[in-house]
Amino acid sequence: MSQGALSNLAQYSALLRRVGALGLARYLVLAVGLVAMTVFTVPELQGITRAWLMACLWCCFVFFAVDSVVHFRGPVAAGTAWRHAFSPSGLVDLLGLFPVPIALLSGAEPETAWLFASLWVLKLAQNSPGFAQLGRVFVLEARPLASVLVLFLIVLFLASAAMHVIEREGQPVAFGSLPAALWWAVVTLTTTGYGDEVPQTALGRLLGSVVMICGIATFGLWTGILATGFAAESRRRNFIETWDLVSKVPFFQTLDPTSITEITHMLRRVEIPERVAVIRRGRVGDCMYFIAAGEVEVDVEPSPARLGVGAFFGELALLGDSVRTANVATTKPSTLLILDLADFRKLMAHHSELARVIDAEGKRRLGENLRRRETGARGDAVAS
């Protein structure tokens, strides 16, 4: 596994720690609640199991009620309770809180009332930045996507009208009315193909074949549009996220704006929790790191050295023979900027001043390392 992948794993474990005990508990309660709600609808369920499940559901409900109260405390104190209630996050809280008791109070059976607990699944989308990104793709490409949907509707209506005419004699139940034929057309055009309604005549099968191929063509276009939109949005998002961090690294501040823009496009941001290994000695290195926030420790002999904000490490493997020469681990939650080998080469080539600084620092560290091993003296030179 490359250093990049390693850092990504570290990033997830960091996310986990940041989510923390409460966050984990939320996801756990959510999973338990959804499973309990699902099992609760099984009609064979009797007596004690049913009682336990209902207890479980009420516990989850109380947990989410407390959770929602915590979410609302801030806005209520700030006098913006109503605004929060109509924000996406507030709506999700309210939808998880009120429908179940309202249904129970209005006399619905518990099996039906607790179905509203399925709205809890919306809590997965709370505070998720990824949704905004996906949403933007749909908004940016709205015009071509709408055209594809119109195409879909046209094929749908014309095909089902034709199929209704062709098959209504032979299959009066399946194709005897246009709503039934429309159902066939949707099932076929999306290539779902239940098989509950299947054309039997030669002409009907010919039309069915055309509809299937239209379905494939339509949704190939749909996927192509989304792929194009996502690629554009992805580039844009990455730039905005990285820009702020780059401007905080002193090392880059000597660069002119053109170069900063260029390097921002090259860097990838990772967040790593404390005490996570970023680099392992002996692995092949294909990237170097800049510290945008936090601190790392390099275990050089005889005693480890620490690097703070603005420092860089991992460059020796890119300058030399590509094998990492030391372990590097974070001592605090850190934000690192990763520069891949390909982009490192490009940067070195275009910015001689940066190349000189990195090269000089690399050589100094290498010399320092050699000297240390000989003298065992403590220093702040590091290598990886």
Q: Tell me whether residue 70 or residue 124 sits nearer to a copy of itself (CB atom).
A: 124
Show contacts with a copy of itself in window 267-296 (CB under 8 A): 286
Tokens of 328: 């590097």
Show contacts with a copy of itself in window 79-98 (CB under 8 A): none
CB 315 within 8 A of CB 381: no
Determine, following the binding rule CB under 8 A, whether residue 54 of this chain makes contact with a copy of itself. Answer: no
Query: What dihedral angle (degrees, nearest 10) is formed by the CA atoms of 155, 156, 157, 158?
Result: 40
Out of 51, 78, 150, 323, the only residue in the binding site for a copy of itself (CB under 8 A) is 150
Q: Tell me whether residue 47 or residue 195 sits nearer to a copy of itself (CB atom).
A: 195
Give the per-residue contact string, 307-346, with a copy of itself (x = CB under 8 A; - = no). ---------------------------------xxx--xx
Out of 42, 55, 203, 377, the only residue in the binding site for a copy of itself (CB under 8 A) is 42
Determine, following the binding rule CB under 8 A, whether residue 235 of this chain makes contact with a copy of itself. Answer: yes
Question: How large is the greatest C-alpha to C-alpha distance in the chain, in angstroms?
Answer: 97
CA distances from 353 to 231, 292, 317, 363 (A): 33, 20, 20, 15
| C-alpha 278 chain-centroid distance | 22
Determine, following the binding rule CB under 8 A, whether residue 374 of this chain makes contact with a copy of itself. Answer: no
Show contacts with a copy of itself in window 128-147 (CB under 8 A): 128-137, 139-140, 142-144, 146-147
Tokens of 359: 């090269």
CA–CA dist 343, 339 (Å, integer): 6
CB 160 within 8 A of CB 73: no
Q: Tell me whether residue 48 or residue 143 sits nearer to a copy of itself (CB atom).
A: 143
Determine, following the binding rule CB under 8 A, whether residue 21 of this chain makes contact with a copy of itself. Answer: no
Shortest Å, Cβ 301 to a copy of itself: 23
Q: Tell me whether residue 190 or residue 253 sits nearer to a copy of itself (CB atom).
A: 190
Determine, following the binding rule CB under 8 A, whether residue 229 of this chain makes contact with a copy of itself. Answer: yes
Show contacts with a copy of itself in window 95-114 (CB under 8 A): 112
Out of 196, 301, 353, 380, the only residue in the binding site for a copy of itself (CB under 8 A) is 196
| C-alpha 313 chain-centroid distance | 28
142: Cβ–Cβ under 8 A, 6 or more apart, which residues? none
Q: Quick one: which segment of 35-43, 72-80, 298-306, 328-336 binds a copy of itself (CB under 8 A)?
A: 35-43
CA–CA dist 142, 121 (Å, integer): 27
CA–CA dist 31, 343 (Å, integer): 42
CA–CA dist 136, 128 (Å, integer): 14
Locus of tokens 């209504």:
168
Determine, following the binding rule CB under 8 A, whether residue 163 of this chain makes contact with a copy of itself. Answer: no
Shortest Å, Cβ 379 to a copy of itself: 30
